[in-house]
A and B are shown apart, each in its own frame.
Chain A
Amino acid sequence: MWTWHTAAALPLNVRFSPQEGIREKHTGTTSIFPLAPLSLSRFTVRHEHRDALLFTILRRFRDELKMNVNQHTPMASPYGQPQPGYGQPAFAPLDTGYPPPYAPYNGPVSAYQTGEPPQGHGRAPPTSGPPPVSAPQAYNQYGGRHQSDMQNGPPPMTQAPPRPVVSQSYNQERVNLSGPPSSYPQHYGSPPAMSHVTSQMSGMQINSGLPNTAGPGYAPPHSSKPPVSNSFSAAPPATYTQALPPALSAPTQAPPTASQQYYGGPPPASQPPFNSSLPPTSQQPFTSPAPLPPSNQPSFAPPPSYSGPPPAQAPSPSMSQPQQSFPPTQSAFSSAPQGSFPPRAPPPTSSQYPPPPTSTPSGQYPGPLPPQQQPPFSSGPFPSRPQMPPTSMSQSNHLPPESQGPLGPPGPLQQMPPPQHAMPGGYPPQQNGAFGQVRGPQPGFTAPYPAQPNYGALGPAPGPAPSTQKRLDPDAIPSPQASDMPTVQKSRHRIDPDAIPSPIQVIEDDKAKSTEPFSTGVRGQAPPLVTTDFHVKDQGNASPRFIRCTAYNIPCTADMAKQSQVPLAAVIKPLATLPADETPPYLVDHGEGGPIRCNRCKAYMCPYMQFIEGGRRFQCGFCSCVTEVPPHYFQHLDHTGKRVDFYDRPELSLGSYEFLATVDYCKNNKIPQPPAFIFLIDVSYNAVKSGMVGIVCQELKALLDRLPRENPDLDSTVRVGFVTYNKVLHFYNVKSSLAQPQMLVVSDVSEMFVPLLDGFLVNVGESRQVIESLLDHIPEMFANTRETETVFGPVIQAGLEALKAADCAGKLFVFHTSLPIAEAPGKLKNREDKKLIGTDKEKSLFQPQVSFYNTLAKECVAQGCCVDLFLFPNQYVDVATLAVVPVSTGGSVYKYTYFQAQSDQERFLNDLRRDVQKPIGFDAVMRVRTSTGIRATDFFGSFFMSNTTDVELAGLDCDKAVTVEFKHDDKLSEETGALVQCAVLYTSCGGQRRLRVHNMAVNCCSQLSDLYRNCETDTIINFLSKYAFRGILNNPTKAVRDTLVNQCAQILACYRKNCASPSSAGQLILPECMKLLPVYLNCVLKSDVLLPAADVSLDDRAYLRQLISGMDVSETHVFFYPRLLPLMKLESGSLPVAVRASEERLSKGGVYLLETGLHLFLWVGANAQQELLLNIFGTSSFGQIDTTMTSLPVLDNPFSQRLRDMIDSFRAQRSRYMKLMLVKQEDRSELIFRHFLMEDKNVSGGASYVDFLCHMHKEIRQLLS
């Protein structure tokens, strides 16, 4: 989808030129999106446009140079080339630009910006012009840009950035949001920078112009494989369109043709013409622009190869300046390619390809593209290259192209440069065009315009924009709806949603790209996305399943980091479960002396320790201290300086492993006892009545056989204990020697204690009879209870005291129903007050009501007492307070509001089963050590910290992730990179004390572009959401939202300012890697926590808030941007390709499955095919579907089977069981469902994606101005 090519974009730009265009020239990595132009900006923009044109022209020259190079590559494999090329060319320049270029670039940038806008306009028009076709094109363009961005990615040279691909495409995309974005601003006070978008669009157009120039260069390649190229260009668009189920086919077809035309020559001419002409008659021009994009695409392909060279040569002669300007972007591109190529040639290409895959519907695209890309990748895989220095990297970049074909030759920088130069010019424009134009312009414009009205409301000059937008609207073709109702579209004032970066596209791109195992040996290489199913080879760094970083190239200096505002953080999931085909960390025993560690910083032996003096000593990679190797650990070094036993010792060759800890690592220097599980069950009236007590007791009987154990053949050593409670606590003596269990009632809840020692915690095997008798009796004993009051604090205290008495760590399972109002420590009152929501006092509602639980949590942690809380509330229970202990002790909170045995039993039981059985460590302490220069400064997650460095987790299970933020305290060096070692000392479920060590090395960069090229947006979102959700404890929610928006704006603005090629301020330029940042951020902002709907209770928000804090990246990803799968066709073996979470994507005739990680919805369209219904529900009548069912009927047909399997597999993937909710279209329950369509506006005032993008653009523009 995202393969927007400049060509496609260009047309759009042309049209929009008057207002603004999206551009990305240099910034191969940046993606530009057309946004609704602001009326005011238009005027200014226009002036700028002219300048921009000049620049763009220069750029084109560069591009052309590159193009030449590209041409070579194209020759090799048109497909692959085009894609990489696209990105690369543009990127290449950037690369060259990188270091030195920056400054210059900046200068140019501003200039460019002015100049670009016009271009954008030029492009924009075109897109709009060819409504139907253009749309697809637009997509293509986007894709192209993405691709190009990706390619840029490589340039970073740092080392093969695995992800560059993705990043690229995004990066370079510039979204021209029509000025109007103001509309969303609803939340955001300031109107979005729609104008930027538009301007970007214009930029896009310009780009397109460039492409044209490049076109020629490409032309050859294309000519060689015209169809392919066409397909390519078309493909991207197609994908987009495809994303929009309806219009897919048509658009795709159209695009190709358009692209071809484009190639023909429209590019150069088109832009200017568009600009001028477009405003008025934008539509027509568009058609022409469409063709352009394709040409761009081809050009792109070459670029990648070029990109490599450029960096090396840096600035090309005359073009140098422009290049420089480009460089940033280019660099990004180049890096992308490099990264992708070297390590994972595939990824970059794949990223490009991905679009095709997404386009799969269109078949056409996917088919051709993938093959192309793949080849490159295969060739591309230059593991060594990634390692190579920047220059080498560039080469490597080249190499990929070479692999593709003749690139090898170009490899030399010289050859490359020229083409690059040529290409650059062309490419950048293309890219710009692609991004801005393709989508931005067409959809974007249309959208913007329509949106403009909205925006207008917000603030910016709505008036003018609208008019232009209206004109553009017709172009809005790309959207599926457009296809359905072309006429309407014309009247619409909207940015085409298809024109803006699509998460689905990115995800699919990444999937397609990640075909080979990801090996962790390469520093600075970003792993595949969390949504991608990939295999990991541990080659010295921890698997991304354990650690994911926001950036894999971190700035060398604090200033850079501050400037970019990109959070430096890692999401660490120390005990993550690995797939069956990956080896769990090896257990290493260093004998009685304990693990070998650095003398000074105490870092554990790891691959970063450098053995010197023949192996007698080693130098610590973290603090450089030299430590003697203990005699028993001595080993000779081979000729390369590696220890001879390098491969025999996990701690020397792997990123993750475990040490067996000695007694010195144990609490009180005593070998720990096996842990204990204590079940504390509320037996008050509500609990009994809801059936919870009966269910729990029944289930526990079975669960006791499945307690966690290290050796599956042996009985678990975990001991168990039971407590029931209402206003008082009942302990049970279940000693094996007793004939009947004994109940011990403790009514003195003010100072809890454990009434018995012997017989409370027992071994299941020995006391089975007594326990079963107890579990049988409990429901019976309390069947007639009339006690409604409960306590809570004493319950946890009881468990804690029991563990203390038994001198072991353990876990409490608390099953609780109501607000603890009985007289006891930790007594709470109902403080839910809807009136406070939205006020400055709202934050207090997220804070614990009393400090009692904080103190209690501290005690729990000290004892290694982890608390899991299962809530069954019928009303407010103050989750914010009750969850304090679970959250601080590494536990989980489960909430089953209005629990009813019949409908919620399954969910609860599955959660319980999983929770009881999951691998867990106790009494854990996590310490994150870093190499000198950075420091772990902040931690997010479910844990407790008593000092600033040690993360204490009473319990740590396989689902818990900790997000760690790093800050500079010194300079980092590019040579050594930055090292992170996360060591977790814990007690295994068998009572063994162990140290799990995860090592991670990332690159350091002195160029911002490198940083932007190697980011992972999903991880950034994970960090930002956790940061924000913690922020609401102390700040008004609105302030937190503003801060979030602001930070993102700064991130993007910094990129724009320092890495993107100069272009019109109206252009929204996004780094490829962060292409999705706005959409995801919007999801965060719209989450119930930050922006509650009226029906969302305070408890729900508090619940979600704590839930997020322990989530890893994949969980936050799906939580914030749910997965929406069309179920019209199910093929065995693969999942249907998701569609974007927007109502527009739902077809009345379809059935969709929506997954958030917490919820599972099955949405049935009102006109769903009867056969479909028959297959799923066994009834062909829409009306007869029973929405209360919680599981699908078991029907004997492949479809039903497949669907149920799919649902099961989804459930298996998540740490919590998802209850299936059936939603019929136009049913009342659909409101809930719609709430999860994150790209849409929501009832509580959350902005739609498009609106938000506009808003974001505006913010960026404000920052830049």
Chain B
Amino acid sequence: MATYQEFIQQNEDRDGVRFSWNLWPSSRLEATRLVVPVSCLFTPLKERPDLPPVQYEPVMCSRANCKAVLNPLCQVDFRAKIWACNFCFQRNPFPPSYAGISEVNQPAELMPQFSTIEYIVQRGPSAPLIFLYVVDTCLEEEDLQALKESLQMSLSLLPPNALVGLITFGRMVQVHELSCELISKSYVFRGTKDLTSKQIQEMLGLTKPSVAGQPGRPPAPQDAAASCRFLQPVHKVDMNLTDLLGELQRDPWPVPQGKRPLRSTGVALSVAVGLLEGTFPNTGARVMLFIGGPPTQGPGMVVGDELKTPIRSWHDIQKDNARHLKKATKYYEALANRSAVNGHSIDIYACALDQTGLLEMKCLSNLTGGHIVMGDSFNTSLFKQTFQRVFNKDYNGDFRMAFGGIMEVKTSRELKVCGAIGPCVSLNSKGSCVSENEMGVGGTSQWKVCSLSPSTTLGIYFEVVNQHNAPIPQGGRGAVQFVTQYQHSNTQRRIRVTTIARNWADAQSQIQHIESSFDQEAAAVLMARLGVFRAESEEGPDVLRWLDRQLIRLCQKFGQFNKDDPTSFKLSESLSLYPQFMFHLRRSPFLQVFNNSPDESSYYRHHFVRQDLTQSLIMIQPILYSYSFHGPPEPVLLDSSSILPDRILLMDTFFQLVIYHGETIAQWRKAGYQEMAEAWRFAGPLPALKGQPFPDPQQPLRLGTGDWSTNPD
């Protein structure tokens, strides 16, 4: 048997799952004593080049409240053509198409290596992808120009059959009709008025009286003609839209001295959401919001237009001095929820020197799986490249994005699910496997993840419900099944099923085993997510105290020490790094708001709760590489001792890359050595010095990676 580390790695590679404990304590009481809950980081769409999807529908347990998918853990009676559900023990006959099944002729889903399997289902019409640009026009000319170019460029990146739409806003909100032949036409909304979805659809002429007359029925997708006015296939309106974008002017309304431009972000989003809601509910769509400043009027206003009143700071918030905060947050949350219900995700691309209201708007992306990108200007490579990266393609030539995901968790009886933390919303599906004890977004076994990327990772928390006095037979295994339905970027509907199982262990007798099965990296990230989740609603110090207590309890449980002798304290290898992670976490911007604006905090947290384990760890504990002439780059301690004159340090915090030149190196640079041929050795690793982009192998996975910066020597 391989080490736990190998096991963990293998599991992650195969299933995209990392559990905090890889042996599960067999009773609730023991589980509670372990401090770190049984939980996992799950990456639903982890890229699996080696996993071709199967072209048929999954076979599901026939019990109505189970519906677990046939998996390798199921017991199969090949003779009787019956399989037993490993979650509810229901015996199910195979469907007719499985008539030829036998021990030697098994379907893929029964093979152990297919603990994760993807099905392509043919249900329903396949809807094209939808991209709705929502563009702020209250930008500086230069910014707007850059943005326009980026947008025009993006048209060429879109799949030709994707539908695009354009909404621009400033003081007013304009929904551009893209199909007009004679003269260009747009619908305009006042930026200060909160409109209901129904009103918006009426105003856009999307409702037909007949449809309106039938209450209770969800608004059916309107006939193609109606919806097409605003959302058109890229290939048809490519030229039109390019021109339209080209003619886009800055918001013409004068901005008086001492005022901010009036920006109706709230209404623009409301209109975007309303438009999609009315035309393409439950279809994958991406609302891409580009803003250059905070919403200054109407619903969702974050700050008034008086420049003399600065946008809220943490200080203001703590003193309850942020007038618009609650209202705006509530507004955007409502929007986000509506959007999430319909499976539309919202990206926010905010480029401004000051805050843009991400704090209030973060839920738009957080709840719908959208991206948040924060930069200083649209005219920076940061934005341009990041934006381009949104449209990156995978090895199959498909976009690295999926829509309308619904992730369901099924557990075996001893286990219940407490909640999830990640870019998802609850679908309020209360099944037998739902715990009353909520952690994160709980109370449900299904979550909606409107937009998924291969790296989107959720933290899922479980509770062992087995009572202490009802021991699990030796060798018993607990199982968890993740069923993720989503719309692939090639418009196929797919279902990915991941089924994993872990052994139960008696915490009293097998505590050593359990300890060694601890995945401290996963545990650190999972605990950090819990902390960040709490920090959203609780005071910072409380969260820190909670974290500290958890750490102390864990150490108490597993640490080896003699009383009153601090030096005798020892932790086993599987726990050795955990305190260090917690140390860095306490100092991290996810929990510390000092020196960060509310927007920045929101931005950091946004990324933290959606990245996979590796990235999350980097966020918690930055990596410092040292480049020297003495060997290959090596990681070094995050310590001033790492600063040496003849080294170049590169620190990766996920959000930023910082390069530090040692004293000697700096002198060389001043002397211009890097220009010389013999300097190639460090010119290689540091082309940034010459102003060239730094090649970062991880970049493709990293959305919204921060600035590159160097020390100012």
Contact with B along A770-781 (1 / 0, CB 8 A): 000110010011
A702 on interface, CB distance cutoff 8 Å:
no
A751 and B190 within 8 A (CB) = yes
CB neighbours of B189 from chain A (8 A): 746-748
A728 and B202 alpha carbons, distance in the complex (Å): 11
The contact string, 1 if C-beta is below 8 Å from chain B, for chain A 743-781, is: 111111001010111110000000000000110010011
A-facing residues in B178-196 (Cβ within 8 Å): 180, 182-190, 193, 195
Known contacts A738-B247, A757-B253, A758-B249, A747 near B186 by CB under 8 Å: no
Q: Are B172 and A753 in contact (CB under 8 A)?
A: yes
Complex Cα–Cα for A740 and B189 (A): 22
Distance to closest chain B CB from A771 (angstroms)? 12
Instruction: Provide the bound-state CA to CA distance between A751 and B203, in Å.
Output: 13
Hey, what's the 0/1 contact readout for A708-739 against B, CB within 8 Å counting as 1? 00000000000000000000101110000010
Interface check B174, CB cutoff 8 A: yes
Task: Identify which of B174, B185, B193, B195 gathers the most chain A CB atoms within 10 Å of its CB.
Answer: B185
Chain B residues with CB below 8 A from A910, complex form: none
> In the complex, are the beta carbons of A748 and B190 less than 8 A apart?
yes
- Bound state CA distance, A728 and B177, in angstroms? 15
Contact yes or no, B188 A751, CB < 8 A: no
Within 8 A of B (CB), among A116-174: none
Tell me if A1190 is interfacial: C-beta within 8 Å of chain B: no
Closest B residue to A760 by beta carbon equals B252
The distance in angstroms between the C-alpha atoms of A746 and B174, with both chains bound, is 9
* B residues 159-216 in Cβ contact with A at 8 Å: 172, 174, 177, 180, 182-190, 193, 195, 199, 202-205
Residues of B contacting A757 in the complex (Cβ-Cβ under 8 angstroms): 252-254
Q: Which of B248-295 contact A (CB under 8 A)?
A: 249, 252-254
**What is the minimal beta-carbon distance from A1171 to any residue of chain B, in angstroms?**
56
Task: Please name all residues of chain A whose beta carbon is closer than 8 Å to the beta carbon of B177 when the two chains form the complex.
Answer: 745
Q: Are B187 and A780 in contact (CB under 8 A)?
A: no
Instruction: Please tell me if the beta carbons of A740 and B184 are within 8 angstroms of each other in the complex.
Output: yes
Residues of A within 8 A of B247 (CB): 738
Give the tally of cross-chain contacts (CB within 8 A).
Answer: 68
Quick one: which of B205, B252, B253, B254 contacts A747, CB cutoff 8 A?
A: B205
Q: In the bound complex, do residue A758 and residue B252 qualify as a contact, i.e. CB atoms below 8 Å apart?
A: yes
Give the contacting residue for B203; candidates A728, A742, A805; CB below 8 A: A728
Q: Are A742 and B184 in contact (CB under 8 A)?
A: yes
Q: Report how far A773 CA is from B202 CA in the complex, Å.
A: 29
B209 to chain A, nearest CB (A): 12
- Contact assessment for A745 and B187 in the assembled complex, using a CB-CB cutoff below 8 Å: yes
Q: Which residue of A lies closest to B193 (CB)?
A: A751
Interface pair A756/B183, CB less than 8 Å apart? no
A759 to B249, CA, bound (A): 11
Contact A748 B193 (CB under 8 A): yes
Is A741 an interface residue when CB atoms closer than 8 A count as contact?
yes
In the complex the two chains form, is A743's CB within 8 Å of B252's CB? no
Complex: how many Å from CA A781 to CA B183?
9
Could you tell me if B202 and A747 are in contact, using CB atoms closer than 8 angstroms?
A: yes
Is B188 touching A731 in the complex (CB atoms < 8 A)? Answer: yes
Query: Using Cβ atoms and an 8 Å threshold, which residues of chain A touch B180?
Result: 743
Q: Give Cα A545 to B656, complex, Å.
A: 82
Most central of B180, B182, B186, B188 by chain A CB within 10 Å = B188
Q: In this complex, what residue of A is CB-closest to B185?
A: A743
Give the interface size bracket for B toward A.
Answer: 20 to 34
Taking A755-B172, A757-B253 as contacts, is the C-beta distance between A743 and B183 under 8 angstroms?
yes
Assess whether A747 is in contact with B185, with CB atoms less than 8 Å apart: no
Q: How far is the CB of A712 from chain B (nearest CB, A)?
A: 33
Contact partners of B204 in chain A: CB under 8 A:
747
Which of A730, A740, A755 contacts B174, CB < 8 Å?
Answer: A755
Assembly CA distance A740 to B205 (angstroms): 24
Q: Contact check, B187 vs A747: say whether CB atoms are below 8 A apart.
A: yes
How near does chain A come to B220, taking the closest CB pair, in angstroms?
Answer: 21
Query: Are B186 and A745 in contact, with the CB atoms below 8 A?
Result: yes
For A747, the chain B residues whose CB sits under 8 A away are: 187, 189, 202-205
Are B203 and A774 in contact (CB-based, < 8 A)?
no
A-chain residues with CB within 8 Å of residue B182 when the two chains form the complex: 740, 777, 780-781
Chain A residues positioned under 8 Å from B174 (CB to CB): 744, 755
Q: How far is the CA of A789 from the CA of B252 in the complex (A)?
A: 32
Q: Once the chains bind, are A756 and B195 in contact (CB under 8 Å)? A: no
Which residues of chain B are near A756, meaning CB under 8 Å? Answer: 172, 188, 252
Q: Is the CB of A744 within 8 A of B186?
A: yes
The closest CB in chain A to the CB of B204 belongs to A747
Determine if B253 and A743 form an interchain contact, defined as CB atoms under 8 angstroms apart.
no
Residues of B within 8 A of A742 (CB): 183-186
Contact bitstring B358-393, A, C-beta under 8 A = 1, else 0? 000000000000000000000000000000000000
Give A743 to B187 CA distance when docked, in angstroms. 8
With A746-B188, A758-B252 as given contacts, are A777 and B203 in contact (CB-CB < 8 Å)? no
Q: How far apart sit A742 and B253, CA to CA, in the bound complex (Å)? A: 17
A748→B252 contact, CB < 8 A = no
Q: Mark B104-141, 1 if CB is under 8 A from A, else 0.
A: 00000000000000000000000000000000000000
> Given the complex, which residues of B lie within 8 Å of A777, measured CB to CB?
182-183
Q: How far is the CA of A1195 from the CA of B247 in the complex (A)?
A: 57
Distance A757 CA – B249 CA, assembled complex (angstroms): 12
- Contact for A746 among B187, B199, B202, B252, CB less than 8 A: B187
Nearest CB of B to A753, in Å:
5
- Shortest A237–chain B CB gap in Å is 73
Give the docked Cα–Cα distance between A745 and B249 (Å): 18
**Closest residue of A by beta carbon distance from B247:** A738
Contact of B188 among A738, A741, A745 (CB under 8 A): A745
Chain B hits for A774, CB < 8 A: 183
Point out the residues of chain A lying under 8 angstroms from B199, CB to CB: 748
CA distance A777 to B253 in the complex (A): 27
Establish whether residues B203 and A748, one from each chain, have CB atoms under 8 Å apart when the complex forms.
yes
CB distance from B230 to the nearest CB of A (A): 11
Measured between C-beta atoms, what is the minimum distance from B100 to chain A in Å? 60
Minimum Cβ distance to chain B for residue A806 (Å):
11
Of A741, A746, A751, A759, which is within 8 A of B183 by CB? A741
Point out the residues of chain B lying under 8 angstroms from A748, CB to CB. Answer: 189-190, 193, 195, 199, 203
Task: Return chain A residues, CB-CB under 8 Å to B203.
Answer: 728, 747-748
Contact with A along B540-571 (1 / 0, CB 8 A): 00000000000000000000000000000000
- Give per-residue flags for B456-496: 1 if the beta carbon is below 8 A from chain A beta carbons, else 0: 00000000000000000000000000000000000000000
Q: Which of A732, A743, A759, A805 has the most CB of B within 10 A?
A: A743
Chain B residues near A746: list those with CB within 8 A.
Answer: 187-189
Task: Name the residue among B186, B189, B195, B204 with the largest chain A CB count within 10 angstroms.
Answer: B186
The distance in angstroms between the C-alpha atoms of A744 and B247, with both chains bound, is: 15
Q: Measured between C-beta atoms, what is the minimum distance from B426 to chain A in Å?
A: 34
Partner pick for B186 among A743, A759, A780, CB 8 A cutoff: A743
Distance of A751 Cα from B199 Cα, bound (Å): 13
Contact among A745, A759, A805 with B185 in the assembled complex (CB-CB below 8 Å) = A745
- Which residue of B is nearest A742, CB measured? B184
Instruction: Tell me the complex Cα distance, A1055–B177, Å.
Output: 74
Closest to A773 in B: B183
- Considering only CB atoms, which chain A residue lies closest to B253 in the complex? A757
What is the chain A residue whose CB lies nearest that of B184?
A: A742
Alpha-carbon distance A14/B171, docked complex (angstroms)? 88
Nearest-CB residue, chain A, relative to B243? A739
Set of chain B residues within 8 Å of A751, measured between Cβ atoms: 190, 193
Closest to A805 in B: B253
Nearest 7 pairs between A and B by C-beta?
A747-B203, A755-B188, A758-B252, A743-B185, A745-B187, A757-B252, A753-B190
Could you show 19 A-B contacts with beta carbons less than 8 Å apart?
A: A728-B203, A740-B184, A743-B185, A743-B186, A744-B188, A746-B187, A747-B189, A748-B199, A751-B190, A753-B172, A755-B174, A756-B172, A757-B252, A757-B254, A759-B252, A777-B183, A780-B182, A781-B182, A781-B183
| New contact pairs (9) apart from A743-B186, A758-B249, CB-CB < 8 Å | A728-B203, A740-B183, A742-B186, A743-B183, A744-B188, A747-B202, A748-B203, A757-B254, A774-B183
B interface, CB within 8 angstroms of A: 172, 174, 177, 180, 182-190, 193, 195, 199, 202-205, 247, 249, 252-254
